Amino acid sequence: MRKLASLFLFLSLCLAAPAMAQTLEELVPQLPKGNYSDRETVVREIAATGDERAAPVLRALGDRELQVRESDGAVVIVTGRRGSQTATDPLTGADLGPVERRSTEAIKINNGLRRVIKAALGTLNLTNPDPGRRLSAANAAFKSPDPDQLEAIDIALGVEKDPGVARALEEARARTLLETEAPVADRVDAIKTVAARGGSEALAALGAYRNSPEPEIALAAEAGITHVERARAMWAQVQNIWFGLSLGSVLLLAAVGLAITFGVMGVINMAHGELIMIGAYTTFLVQDVIREHAHGLFDYSLLIATPAAFLVAGAIGVGIERGIVRHLYGRPLETLLATWGVSLLLQQTVRTIFGPTNQEVGNPSWMSGAFQFGEMTVTWNRFYIIIFAVVVFLGLLTLLRRTALGLQMRAVTQNRAMAAEMGIPTGRVDALTFGLGAGIAGLAGVALSQIDNVSPNLGQSYIIDSFLVVVFGGAGNLWGTFAAAFSLGIANKFLEPWAGAVLGKILILVFIILFIQKRPRGLFPQRGRAVES
């Protein structure tokens, strides 16, 4: 019934407008005429037109800037300080020149008319043709409840078709109703609506009524606060899981290439972090070229940088394997020291070329901003990085299981000597395997450039975590790496709130050490040269 009455009121205003003054051009000159009651009627009719030009006129009237020019009786908007005031047309915004002293008189308003103007402005915002504007107005009405806007909210509710905006209007009406002397039953229902909205704003609103002298209101507010706090606790856990998945996707990208290298070749590659850094700097160079020569392609910069980073990091990886690592097979300590030396060399080379400071890598428009999921804010860059990590992982699985190179890599992993006897070029497989692991590290650099500082020290932040993921999951087992990355990521985010970031990492490390004592081969053991030796 309330919505039907509001709809009838809105339609009656719209129908009355054509009968008395069909357009804003005919309504504005009527504002100076009659008494305050007459002006209230005209203000409501102006709001009922829904004309976009009505809001500036009403705001000027409320600020006493809407004035009448004595020479011809025209209504103008007068702004500026005394002695340097100028007039503009209230409907077209055209400049009408300077205003002489005492040549205009402000249209008189009182407190009652101010309330009508405020409600009329609310009606214009809440019935704006743009759904986004209507939603913003409804949220603003919830944050700053004003009983004078209750009628405007009712009118907007009566004609609203968008479900999301209608829900926001219902919440704004409930919040506003709590500021009135409405019947207790109505205010109890309003408290339930506000509690269903949830969030810190609802919690603050309900807190003002938990000590209400009316027992029903106080009980309803207490129940609403309990409901909101439970919902917030649940969403806090969901947010921890989301942050854990986000961290897990980063760990997966950083570790999966290392899992390939370590699992197939048994090589502890300490330069893996620098290969991630190479991918990030490749992204920076691609964006730098696009900024200078083809700025319109910036939104496609990551799509261009992805294969480029894979090829550059992969080529460097093949060079490391052919030039250094292949001479040190079977000597893990020397391999570790050699690749550590390569990591220092790559870091210093990057410092020499690009300098030690951070480099700017921008987010394309489709990776910028965030969206709301329940009471949780999700950033687009993290969202796309999770998708990217899963795509890379599935692509790697497909390569290992459906291609000739993948079959050769698996054969070398299972039994290197027998694979060599069957004609598989193990040296070539080693080089391509190392290059593949390095290329995936480059892809990790592309993703990390969107959420971390691109500097020569970028890779050092992830190399230890990458080894922890590989060891925990099982050397060379991709599904083990997948499970380890996401489980460690989620565990980290659940430990951080009460243990802190540093202590949380220490606890994770202690857990992995104890776990490896019981299961030396990790979650998912993999047979391979490193394991057998």
Contact 508/491 with Cβ under 8 angstroms?
yes
Contact 293/361 with Cβ under 8 angstroms?
no
Structure tokens that stand for 227 in this block: 């409901």
pLDDT at 4: 46
Contact 227/191 with Cβ under 8 angstroms?
no
pLDDT at 386: 93
| Terminal-residue alpha carbon distance, the chain | 81
* Tens of each residue's pLDDT in the chain, 533 residues: 444 444 444 444 444 434 444 588 888 888 888 888 888 888 888 877 777 788 888 888 888 888 888 888 888 888 887 777 888 888 888 888 888 877 888 888 888 888 788 777 777 777 777 888 788 888 888 887 878 778 778 888 888 888 888 898 899 889 888 888 888 898 899 999 999 888 888 888 888 888 888 889 899 999 999 998 998 888 888 988 999 999 899 889 888 888 888 766 778 888 999 999 999 999 999 999 998 888 788 889 999 999 999 999 999 999 998 998 888 877 878 888 899 999 999 999 999 999 888 888 888 988 888 888 877 888 898 999 999 999 999 999 899 888 888 888 878 777 778 888 888 888 888 888 889 999 999 999 999 998 888 999 888 888 888 888 888 888 767 888 899 999 998 988 888 877 777 788 888 888 888 888 888 777 776 654 444 44
pLDDT at 14: 45
pLDDT at 525: 67
pTM of this structure: 0.72
CB burial class (10 A; 0-12, 13-18, 19+) of residue 249? buried
* Inter-residue long-range contacts of 241-246, CB under 8 Å, 24+ positions, other chains counted: 241/490, 241/493, 242/376, 242/378, 243/493, 244/486, 244/489, 244/490, 244/491, 244/492, 244/493, 244/494, 245/386, 245/486, 245/489, 245/490, 246/382, 246/385, 246/386, 246/489
Instruction: Enter the DSSP assignment of 369.
Output: S
